[in-house]
Chains A and B, each alone.
Chain A
Amino acid sequence: MKRNILLYIALFLPFLMNGQGVVATAKLDTATVVIGQPFTLVLTITQPKSIAINWPYIADSIGGLEVVQNGGIDTLPVDDQGILLRSQKVTFMAFDSGAYTIPGFVIDYNVKGEPVKAYTDPLRISVYLVPVDTSKAIRDIHGVVVVPYDMFFILLMVLAWLVTILIVGLVILYFINAKKKDDLAEVKSIVRKPAYEIAMTALNELDKKQLWQRNLVKAYYSELTDILRLYIQHRWMLPAMEFTSDEILAHAFIHQNDKQLQDELAYVLRLADLVKFAKVLPHNSEHELSFKNAVSFVDKTTPEPERNPIMEEADNKMEVSL
């Protein structure tokens, strides 16, 4: 329909036009709308190519109507004689009911230096309220849009869920394994050999190595003091491996023992320090005495049940049987 109108205008325009004049028309696509319904105005100007016109300014709202879309100016040559057909589409919307008037547009141009004006007719449009059927229940303007099932999307979702479940399962498994390892570590610490047994075994092995007899005096004292330090660490739960000799001898645990025992330990540690750090070479008898003192310290600081666990077990059995 709109095309036909434009075509008629284009065909008859050369006859209608007076010499070199400009013809402007404005048309609405409807005369009645409901609130919020968009409607379009088409402003058409036919002009000779040689004439420059001032295209009317389209404001944000005209005559109480809101401009929601302002289309660009479209230019079309009509014939070879230099006649142009130019048009602009403007979409309006009204948000209140009533009758509205769009005032006519004024087109300014000059002919041979004289200012001339072309006008369009004012346009009327009626805006009505949306008829409400109160007998019916309130409903949505639009119903819920149902998305059609897509097999690819469904497969993707299933895959995503499976991956998520797999990750969660792996994380749970990791924590369960870590917990098991901790439990095992606890069990290991529980079944560790008694401090006395560890120390005595190490002392026996040191004795068998015959280090000082092979002139490996420094190594001998290093091992001897390490055994004692480790024993103290196990027995009193102290970080004795990181203690210096002075710190060990000044610690409270040492003062719980009798003076002779303290002196014996001090003798070993002090002599070992001299050997290890001051290149001192003690007499053979001092090596033997150091070893003897170390054994004595371990022996005397171990409670009786730990020293003879088998005997203790046997005693317990006897008591039970009695």
Chain B
Amino acid sequence: MDIREINEKIQQESAFIELLNLELGKVIIGQKYMLDRLLIGLLSNGHLLLEGVPGLAKTLAIKSLSSAIQAKFSRLQFTPDLLPADLVGTMIYSQKQEQFTVRRGPLFANFVLADEINRAPAKVQSALLEAMQERQVTIGDETFKLPEPFLVLATQNPIEQEGTYPLPEAQLDRFMLKVTIGYPTKEDERLIIRQNLAQEFPKINPVISADTIVKARHAVREVYMDEKIEKYILDIVFATRYPKDSNLKKIENLISYGGSPRASINLALAAKAYAFIKRRGYVIPEDVRAICHDVMRHRIGLTYEAEAENITTDEVINEVLNIVEVP
């Protein structure tokens, strides 16, 4: 397809983004960054891990998004006594019918908020992550497809790590993005206070259907990505794996392992989704850079030296981006 046609198609297909942003903006003040990442996850069929202190409108954001898309939403509070069956569902014996019947769990929703995922033991985390990956659940002998679109937004609290089960690296890799959200600005927080004091909570109206999202996902895949951008993505990911080869001796001792091939795939996909949100039919280096931290931050392992010096993966990614030449 010609690039002009792609561009026109993307312009048409992405028209709902503004509408969606306007609707969400009615209740979510600030947090544009988080909303953009939610859309990227939604459009590229990925899942998000959100890290932020409590009270930053994480639940409100995903709830509002599901309302605006006319989709089913469920929230799961992860606790140490949670069982996999509490998530996926279980077989219940019906005395009336004298047989076992399936009772589906809260995972059967379009938007699932897995609150404080690190508070549940590994078997529960594993059940959720498997469902995220396979997009299907097996209860008894039957396998059930999860609804489309299916987006999991898991949250983690960066404080109070006592009594938690940190997600292993292999499972972290299954999240497309790890988004770190911060506090709103003073101006935004003032508006939040006013809105809360006035008890004025606008109602979110459904502006698009779930089918629109499914259709948009196809359009995202059609966004043009030039070879130069592909090379740029590979240069970034390889720089995290072999820093010495990329003239990054400075951070060589800070990285224990770099991004996996899944990092390259997700970086490319997320960059396409970002370009789509920006209503462009092609990817530019700015798209890659804009999304790079969110895709890479949970995929780079730091050494003890880095941890001892309080160096974060974000700082390592900054170093990589400052060295890798932009095409």
CB within 8 Å of B: which residues of A? 222, 239, 241-247, 273, 276-280
Confirm or deny: B78 has a beta carbon within 8 angstroms of a beta carbon on chain A.
no
Question: How far does the alpha carbon of A241 sit from the alpha carbon of B326 in the complex, in Å?
Answer: 6
B289 CB contacts on chain A under 8 angstroms: 244
Question: How far does the alpha carbon of A243 sit from the alpha carbon of B325 in the complex, in Å?
Answer: 8
Confirm or deny: B245 has a beta carbon within 8 angstroms of a beta carbon on chain A.
no
Q: When A244-B285, A244-B286 are in contact, do A276 and B3 touch as well, CB less than 8 Å?
A: no
Q: When A244-B286, A245-B286 are in contact, do A277 and B324 touch as well, CB less than 8 Å?
A: no
Q: When A239-B322, A244-B286, A244-B289 are in contact, do A276 and B228 touch as well, CB less than 8 Å?
A: yes
Closest Cβ neighbor of A276 among chain B residues: B228
Question: How far does the alpha carbon of A244 sit from the alpha carbon of B229 in the complex, in Å?
Answer: 12
Question: How far does the alpha carbon of A242 sit from the alpha carbon of B322 in the complex, in Å?
Answer: 6
Candidates B3, B228, B326; contact of A244 at CB < 8 Å: B326
A273 CB contacts on chain B under 8 angstroms: 284
Q: When A244-B286, A273-B284 are in contact, do A280 and B3 touch as well, CB less than 8 Å?
A: yes
Say yes or no: B7 contacts A278, CB within 8 Å.
yes
Candidates B283, B321, B325; contact of A277 at CB < 8 Å: B283
Say yes or no: A279 contacts B327, CB within 8 Å.
no
Say yes or no: B327 contacts A243, CB within 8 Å.
no
Question: How far does the alpha carbon of A245 sit from the alpha carbon of B324 in the complex, in Å?
Answer: 15
Distance between A233 CB and nearest chain B CB, rounded to angstroms: 11
Say yes or no: B323 contacts A276, CB within 8 Å.
no
Query: What per-residue 1/0 map shows which CB atoms of B227-245 lie under 8 Å from chain A?
Result: 0110000000000000000
B 1-21 contacts with A by CB, 8 A: 3, 7
Question: How far does the alpha carbon of A244 sit from the alpha carbon of B282 in the complex, in Å?
Answer: 15
Chain B interfacial residues counted at CB < 8 A: 20
Listed by A's residue number, 10 A-B pairs whose Cβ atoms lie within 8 Å are A222-B327, A242-B326, A244-B285, A244-B326, A277-B224, A277-B226, A277-B327, A278-B226, A279-B282, A280-B3
Confirm or deny: B41 has a beta carbon within 8 angstroms of a beta carbon on chain A.
no
Confirm or deny: B89 has a beta carbon within 8 angstroms of a beta carbon on chain A.
no
A241 CB contacts on chain B under 8 angstroms: 325-326
Candidates B224, B226, B282, B325; contact of A242 at CB < 8 Å: B325
Confirm or deny: B281 has a beta carbon within 8 angstroms of a beta carbon on chain A.
yes
B 280-310 contacts with A by CB, 8 A: 281-286, 289
Say yes or no: B321 contacts A242, CB within 8 Å.
yes
Distance between B71 CB and nearest chain A CB, rounded to angstroms: 33
A-B pairs, 9 with minimum CB distance:
A278-B282, A279-B3, A244-B285, A277-B226, A244-B286, A241-B325, A246-B286, A277-B284, A277-B282
Closest Cβ neighbor of A229 among chain B residues: B326
A245 CB contacts on chain B under 8 angstroms: 284-286
Distance between A49 CB and nearest chain B CB, rounded to angstroms: 74
* Additional pairs, 13, CB under 8 Å, beyond known A239-B322, A243-B326, A276-B327: A222-B327, A242-B321, A242-B322, A244-B286, A244-B289, A244-B326, A273-B284, A276-B228, A277-B226, A277-B282, A278-B7, A278-B282, A279-B3
Say yes or no: B226 contacts A279, CB within 8 Å.
yes
Q: When A244-B285, A244-B289, A245-B286 are in contact, do A277 and B228 touch as well, CB less than 8 Å?
A: yes
Distance between B277 CB and nearest chain A CB, rounded to angstroms: 16
